[in-house]
Amino acid sequence: MDNMRKLIPYWFFVFTIGFGWFVLSPVIPELMSHLSASLSEVVLILSVYGYTMAILGLVAGVLSAKFTVKSSIYLAMLFSITGLFVRIFATDYLEFLILSIVAASAYPFSLAPVGSIAESMDRKKSATIAGLSIGFLFLGMSAGAFSGPYIYIASSLVGIMVIPAVLTIIASIMLFMVLPQFPEKYKGKSLRGSFSPGMVKNWYIGLSMASISILFGDIAATALGFHFTGTFLLKLSGVMGGVEFLGSALGALTLPFIFERYRMIKSGTIFTGLISFVFAIILLYSLVYTGIAALITGSFFIFGFFGNAFWVMALNSIINYADDPGKAGFATSMYSVATNVGVAIIPVLISAEFISIKSSIYGIIPVLTIVFIAFIISPFLLSKRSAKMEPMADAEY
């Protein structure tokens, strides 16, 4: 079994994390009733995934660097199975929240050290591996968002709870069987040299693209309310999140692979940054001022497609600063933490400006400024390993 095939169970496991995360989003009103909770309390359940990455991302990076990435993934499986399975039997909001935090902890421990996985499995295909890993997460998020209403119709909240738990158990069993074949040792155990000031450029792109993507999802229902009402508004609002996640998944799954295959890493990074900026303009204009449903939907998809690919290219670039897989995992952990700090801050600060058409200009200007700066710095990302990093010792198996 070659190294890429070994990663299939890992990608399925990552898919189940995204699925379990966003299968709840279409049934928030039903959860409010079931848990006797307010809207903000239920939204907090969805938000804990970002918080766990911000808090535990560096822990996962240290664990994968000091020991092996397998130790981090074993914890991810434990957290996901425990949280999602036991949550089925939760009887009140506090229990449900605590178990959701446990389940969400699988997110940083499985994905924060993705650099270690990419470098140790196949260094020449690191962009492809990183893209597939992030892509399957978003594919799971999209599948959860799209299928949640139908699962609820067929089996109520019981199905919403049971299906993600069953999927993560199946994925964990498959991953457990192949995980012993993952790399055992890395070149070094010291974290010295894991950080370089040049990484800050990557951090900015990561936090800007992730936070603006979340912001667009947050303001969709409010801004669509400028033009639509009733049932159509509700359906269209739900579609936007699923479409953006689907675009994000497909962009991460395909573009890094294409850019790496045809040796277009640098030009591909700049290109995705440019298209992200262009469609941020189109999306905001159509969403706030036109009310053209097809244009809005297409803009959400294309921004997600190129925006998340841009995010992945910045993540892959950061691997070039590391001289062994352990440090690469810690470097991508720092990137993930920076990204989720941005997600926690920027949407909260800007989304309130989209309460009316008139005030939206005060949200549009900072959003476009943030994305434009990300594009401007894209040519300066490290697109290949510096000479002092070569050659890197092969991972031991």
Ordered by start, the domain boundaries in the chain are: 3-178+197-384
What pLDDT score does 392 carry? 42
Residue 388, burial from CB neighbour count under 10 angstroms (0-12, 13-18, 19+): exposed
CA atoms within a 13 Å half-sphere pointing along the CA-CB vector of 271: 12
Q: Going from the first residue of the chain to its last (397 residues), give the mean pLDDT of each consecutive group of 10, the final group possibly shorter.
A: 82 96 84 87 84 90 81 95 96 95 95 82 85 94 85 91 98 95 62 77 96 85 84 73 90 95 95 98 96 93 97 92 75 89 85 90 97 97 64 37
Distance CA 320, CA 130 (A): 13
Instruction: Output the pLDDT for position 289.
Output: 96
CATH fit for domain 3-178+197-384, picks 1.20.1250.20, 3.30.470.10, 1.10.8.60, 3.40.605.10? 1.20.1250.20
Distance (Å, rounded) from C-alpha 340 to C-alpha 214?
11
pLDDT the model gives residue 396: 31
Q: Closest by alpha carbon to 79, among 104, 54, 50?
A: 104
Q: What pLDDT was estimated at residue 169? A: 98
Q: Give me the pLDDT at residue 30, please.
A: 85
The two tokens of residue 133 are: 């890993």
